[in-house]
Amino acid sequence: MRKYFDSIRRIAGNVVTVNASDVGYDELAVIDSAHGDSFAQVIRLEGQQVSLQVFAGSQGVSNNDRVRFLHRPMQAPFSEDLLGRVLDGSGRPRDGRGEVTGEMIDLGSPPVNPVKRHMPDKMVHTGIPMIDVFNSLVESQKIPIFSVAGEPYNELLARIGLQANADIIILGGMGLRHDDYLKFRQTFEDGGVLGRAILFIHTAADPVVECLLVPDLCLAVGEQFALQGKRVLVLLSDMTAFSDSLKEISIVMEQIPSNRGYPGDLYTQLAKRYEKAVDFEGAGSMTVLACVTMPGDDVTHPVPDNTGYITEGQFYLRNGRIEPFGSLSRLKQQVNGKTRGDHRAIMDACIQLYALCRESREKRDMGFEMSAWDRKLLKYGNLFEQRIMDLSVNIPLFDALDRCWSILAECFEPAETGIRRSIVEEHWPASGNGAETEPAQEEEPAVAGS
């Protein structure tokens, strides 16, 4: 027999408080209201009073409605039937097809025992030199794209999703614009991967609480596939929208904010999700790639800041390029020692020189005279941006390394690169100039005369 509780005491924000008994913390409830059923989750127990976070929002909930408790936490259906499907933030179909059936799995499983994790050691090739050469992506890595509104971060996410060659791709959309959702769908369809993709979509028009559930749904389902030995890639966009939903709820719950209105446990909340990225010893893996838009292009904003402290690096997407500064793959050293002997040396040298080039540019912009060395650096910087950094470049790793050598040889004497002699001897292109097949299109006037 179903037991209902009908004394709703308070409705505020998305939180409803009801008097009830025999209720477990974190369990799921259903509110029966005029608009139909809506799911809610227990977020506080205080004597008789049970506080519920209502997934669809408390709009339209009345103090006469009835609440029923399900005595289980939030769950997701898990089966092969999920492939190719589009669901919402409560796990309901949004593609007009029927309910997904399958084994029900709890969201928010306990953490993986560190001793059962496999050390990440498989490089994911993306064809993007700024990733493959300078910040290699590794299977089971968790890494965000830091960006601002207007940058093509969703396109980049989708492109990596296609090129990464995963068994299963799970897209979690949070606060996604409907157009962006359609674009993702289109890209997956055109790329022929829709049949092994699962989309959990919350759009900007959907209830805020459902946004909070999207990562948990993606990660719970992904984890199950990984346990079955699959290589899963989870794409999350945008984690800033997720964090803002957290902020909204915590303010309603009258928690003391720690930093710009965000709750003190923002780090823990984000970490719980990102840390689901895993390479299981003896089973599959789950790689997590997320978008984080930085309000005001400020990396010290609590969302990118806390994210950076959790993830295994970050890619900065700015002006349509992945920036070499600030971008970092912390797992790169697990794989880039095994690709080619010159990989690490090229990686370090190219970035150090590009940093110097930036200094020279600053000097130039302030009107200072350019030394011969400055001119070399300026030339290098331009070539590097055109032939390596540009996002349209799509070449395999070894070609990218060769291309870097030829740029260096076009601009510098070997000792100026700071690369160890033994490596220079092996890889320095035979003729200093013109080794690059693709000609430099245009150079700045300051360089032309050098």
Ligand X SMILES: Nc1ncnc2c1ncn2[C@@H]1O[C@H](COP(=O)(O)OP(=O)(O)OP(=O)(O)O)[C@@H](O)[C@H]1O
Residues numbered 364-423 forming contacts with another protein, rule: CB under 8 A: 366-369, 371-373, 415-416, 418, 420-421
259 binds another protein (CB under 8 A): yes
Number of residues counted as binding ligand X (CB under 6 A):
5
Residue 152's H or E segment, with its range, is none
User: Tell me, what amino acid is at 11?
Assistant: I
User: Among candidates 39, 42, 57, which has minimal Cα distance to 208?
Assistant: 57
**Per-residue 3-state assignment (H helix, E strand, C coil) for 150-197:** CCCHHHHHHHHHHHCCCCEEEEEEEEECHHHHHHHHHHHHHCCCHHHE
Q: Residue 275 binds which one of ligand X, another protein, none, with CB within 5 to 8 A depending on kind?
A: another protein
**Does residue 8 contact residue 63 with C-beta atoms inside 8 Å?**
yes
Q: If you ran DSSP here, which 8-state letter would residue 120 be given? A: P
330 binds ligand X (CB under 6 A): yes
108 binds another protein (CB under 8 A): yes
The three-state secondary structure class of 208 is helix
Instruction: Give 58 or 141: the residue with its C-beta nearer to another protein.
Output: 141
Number of residues counted as binding another protein (CB under 8 A):
79
Instruction: Give 51 or 187: the residue with its C-beta nearer to another protein.
Output: 51
Would you give the binding string for another protein spanning residues 313-342, x where CB under 8 A is met? xx----------xx-x-xx-x---x-----
Of 332-371, which residues contact ligand X (CB under 6 A)? 333
Q: How far is the CB of 312 from ligand X (least distance, A)?
A: 8
24 binds another protein (CB under 8 A): yes
Instruction: Give 158 or 404: the residue with its C-beta nearer to another protein.
Output: 404
For 356, the token pair is 């110097």
Instruction: Give 135 or 224: the residue with its C-beta nearer to ligand X.
Output: 135
20: phi then psi, degrees, rounded to nearest 5: -160, 165
Would you give the binding string for ligand X spanning residues 300-319, x where CB under 6 A is met? --------xx----------
The residue written with tokens 């009830």 in the block is: 20
Compute the Cα dihedral for 401, 279, 184, 323 and give only its sign.
negative
**Does residue 185 contact residue 330 with C-beta atoms inside 8 Å?**
no
For 341, the token pair is 């002997």
| Tally of residues, the chain | 450
Q: If you ran DSSP here, which 8-state letter would residue 25 be given? A: T
Would you give the binding string for another protein spanning residues 133-172, x where CB under 8 A is met? -------x--------------------------------
Contacting positions for ligand X (CB under 6 A): 308-309, 328, 330, 333
